[in-house]
Structure 1
Amino acid sequence: MITNITNTIDVVSYCRVSSQGQGESGLGLEAQREYIARAAQQNGWNIVGEFVDVVSGKLAIEDRPEGKNALAACKKLKAQLVVAKLDRLSRSVHHIARLMEQTEFKVATMPQAKTFELHLFAALAQQEREFIANRTKEALAALQKRADDGDVQSVEKIARRTDALEKGRTAANRAKGNEVIQERVNSWQESVRDPIDLCIRKGGRTLQQVADCLNGKGITTSRGGNWTSIQVSRVMKNLTLQFPAKDAAL
Structure 2
Amino acid sequence: MTDPIKYVTYYRVSTKKQGDSGLGLDAQRRDIQLFLDNYSGVPYEVLAEFVEVESGANAERKELSEAIALAKKEAAILLVAKLDRLSRKVSFVSSLMDDKGLNLKVAQMPNADKFQLHIYAALAEQERDFISKRTKAALAEAKARGQKLGGLRDKTNERNKAKRKVADDFAAKFRGILSPMVSAQMSLEAIATALNEAGHKTAQGKTFKAMTVKRLLDRLNLKE
Q: TM range, normalised to the smaller chain? A: 0.5 to 0.7
* Sequence identity percentage: 47
2:12 is aligned, of 7, 16, 38, to: 16
Alignment check: 8 A CA contact 1:85 1:109 kept: yes
- Measure the CA separation in 2 of the matches of 1:139 and 1:37: 40
SS at match of 2:150: helix
With over 3 angstroms needed to count, the CA separation of the structure-2 counterparts of 1:141 and 1:71, relative to structure 1, is same
Q: State the superposition RMSD in angstroms.
A: 2.4
Question: Offset at 1:71?
Answer: 1.1
- Measure the CA separation in 1 of the matches of 2:4 and 2:116: 23
With over 3 angstroms needed to count, the CA separation of the structure-2 counterparts of 1:163 and 1:41, relative to structure 1, is same
Question: Offset at 1:138?
Answer: 1.9
Deviations for 1:77-118, whole angstroms, at most 9, x for unmatched residues? 221101101111111111111112331100001111111101
Report the counterpart of residue 92 of structure 1 in structure 2.
89
Alignment check: 8 A CA contact 1:14 1:70 kept: yes
TM norm structure 2: 0.61
Alignment check: 8 A CA contact 1:40 1:46 kept: no
Question: Offset at 1:162?
Answer: 5.5
Residue correspondences, number: 152
Question: Offset at 1:9?
Answer: 2.0
Q: Quick check: 1:161 aligned with 2:153?
A: yes
Deviations for 1:150-177, whole angstroms, at most 9, x for unmatched residues? xxxx53x624426899xxxxxxxxxxxx
Question: Offset at 1:75?
Answer: 2.3
Please tell me whether Structure 1 or Structure 2 has the larger radius of gyration of its CA atoms.
2
Superposed counterparts of 1:91-170, under 5 Å: 91-102=88-99, 103-146=102-145, 148=146, 155=148, 158-161=150-153
Report the counterpart of residue 41 of structure 1 in structure 2.
37
SS at match of 1:106: strand
Deviations for 1:205-239, whole angstroms, at most 9, x for unmatched residues? xxxxxxxxxxxxxxxxxxxxxxxxxxxxxxxxxxx
**5+ residue gaps, structure 1:** 149-153, 166-250
Q: Quick check: 1:27 aligned with 2:23?
A: yes
- Measure the CA separation in 1 of the matches of 2:107 and 2:151: 43
Question: Offset at 1:46?
Answer: 2.9
- Measure the CA separation in 2 of the matches of 1:9 and 1:145: 59
- Measure the CA separation in 1 of the matches of 2:32 and 2:137: 36
**5+ residue gaps, structure 2:** 158-224
TM norm structure 1: 0.55
- Measure the CA separation in 1 of the matches of 2:3 and 2:118: 25
Letter matched to residue 136 of structure 2:
K
